[in-house]
Copies of this chain bind each other. A is one copy, B any other.
Amino acid sequence: MGRKRTKSGKIRLAEVAELAGVSPITASRFFRNPEALSVAKRTRVESAARELGYVPNLAARALASQRTEVIGVLIPSLTNNVFSDVLRGIYDASENSRYSIQLSNTRYSILQEEKLLRLFLAQKPAGLIVTGIDQTTESRAMLEAADCPIVQIMEIGPNPVDMMIGFSHFDAARAAIAHLFAQGHRKIGFVGARMDPRVQRRLDGYVAAMKDAGLHDQRLIVTTATPTSVTLGGALFADLLARESGIDSVFCANDDLALGVLFECRRREIAVPEQIAIIGFNDLEFMASSVPTLTSVRTNRYEMGSTAAAMLIEAIEGKRPEEPVLDLGFTVIERQSSQAQRAAASSRAPEWAPAVQNDSVTNDP
């Protein structure tokens, strides 16, 4: 097999072209735009490539074409369960595409995000997925100047840089509070940690709902910048109880905190939901199987990731969506921890039905 000056057994596009009896550029086209070839050449190149076990050299491709096939993803945390679901969606959706994912962790710092963004943009990514809508002015300018499609994920808001997919944390929080109101609760506490922009907007939604009902009281709100955890949920709830009495329910900014609150109630022998109702946020898997089962606001995290990646890839290939902003919504999943008091007596055992509610499990292939 007559190679020219290539060393040991490396298969270049030139070898494939030679075996197929076409020019290198024709072989190249086969990989990028097969429809442009006549059927005869197409099959010849295809079988030659297979026979030689040809694998394209991505570095050479990137250098020659002046663009990469990399999708950059900027997320604020690798620890948070929420992001692992989103990421799984992103990886799944990109898996059978030509694009590869380049992930970076901003650690909830918009300055770090700006730095990483600069790094990414310098490599001319094919597309970018960024978290949230609270970039620095500088980041925002870079994103707007970038000549690749961009998807903002996790929430929606005005002025998308390009595309946007998420839901309204403000509305979701309002819905959570509305649910508690409907169950007869009035003195609703708020427990939040980390306080990133999305948690902040959940707090805003809570405050708005409470104000609308004339029930707002700053002393019902306990927050901290500390990263969230189950343990922290218990501690913050303890703070809340120490500060204020007569609280009948708690809205937790995420499910880990809610579980912590539940445990703290158990520790103090506070009956849930009879004495205190609990509602969490995100609807992680365990919420459906705790005792009592925990009410939460379900968010479509996996879909957020997979749809974002799918939209991005479509846009890279020229098929922009007609509607660039996609609201994935949320659902309040009512469970025992927030049932109205009259129903509470019979709520201990019968309604537990994991088979119906653990759908988040089945997403994992």
A29, CB-defined interface residue at 8 Å: no
Binary per-residue interface labels of chain A (322-356) against chain B in the complex, 1 for a CB within 8 Å, 0 otherwise: 00000000000000000000000000010010100
List B contacts of A267 (CB < 8 A).
Answer: 291, 349, 352
Q: Which of A103, A289, A291, A365 has the most CB of B within 10 A?
A: A289
List B contacts of A60 (CB < 8 A).
Answer: 59, 63
**Distance, CA A95 to CA B104, complexed state (A):** 9
A37, CB-defined interface residue at 8 Å: no
Number of chain A residues close to chain B: CB under 8 A? 54
User: In the complex, what residue of chain B is closest to A89 when comparing beta carbons?
Assistant: B78
A227 touches B364 (CB 8 A): yes
Given contacts A88-B79, A267-B291, A361-B227, contact A354 B235 (CB under 8 A): yes
**Distance, CA A142 to CA B349, complexed state (A):** 54
**Distance, CA A290 to CA B261, complexed state (A):** 10
User: In the complex, what residue of chain B is closest to A103 when comparing beta carbons?
Assistant: B103
**Cβ distance A90 to chain B, nearest Cβ, rounded Å:** 9
CB-contacts of A222-245 with B (<8 A): 227, 229-235
User: In the complex, what residue of chain B is closest to A63 when comparing beta carbons?
Assistant: B59
**Distance, CA A71 to CA B231, complexed state (A):** 35
A78 touches B63 (CB 8 A): no
A52, CB-defined interface residue at 8 Å: no
List B contacts of A77 (CB < 8 A).
Answer: 364
Binary per-residue interface labels of chain A (269-295) against chain B in the complex, 1 for a CB within 8 Å, 0 otherwise: 000000000000000011011110000
Q: Which of A91, A227, A290 has the most CB of B within 10 A?
A: A290
A230 touches B286 (CB 8 A): yes
List B contacts of A349 (CB < 8 A).
Answer: 267
A15, CB-defined interface residue at 8 Å: no
Q: Which of A104, A259, A361 has the most CB of B within 10 A?
A: A361
List B contacts of A28 (CB < 8 A).
Answer: none
Given contacts A77-B364, A227-B361, contact A234 B57 (CB under 8 A): no
A107, CB-defined interface residue at 8 Å: yes
A230 touches B285 (CB 8 A): yes
**Distance, CA A91 to CA B286, complexed state (A):** 27
A260, CB-defined interface residue at 8 Å: yes
A288 touches B59 (CB 8 A): no
A58 touches B123 (CB 8 A): yes
List B contacts of A227 (CB < 8 A).
Answer: 361, 364
B91 touches A105 (CB 8 A): yes
Q: List the 9 closest A-B pairs by CB distance, nearest first.
A: A59-B62, A230-B286, A55-B122, A231-B289, A231-B354, A266-B291, A59-B63, A78-B88, A231-B358
Known: A95-B105, A229-B289. 6 other contacts (CB 8 A): A59-B59, A78-B91, A100-B102, A231-B358, A232-B358, A260-B286
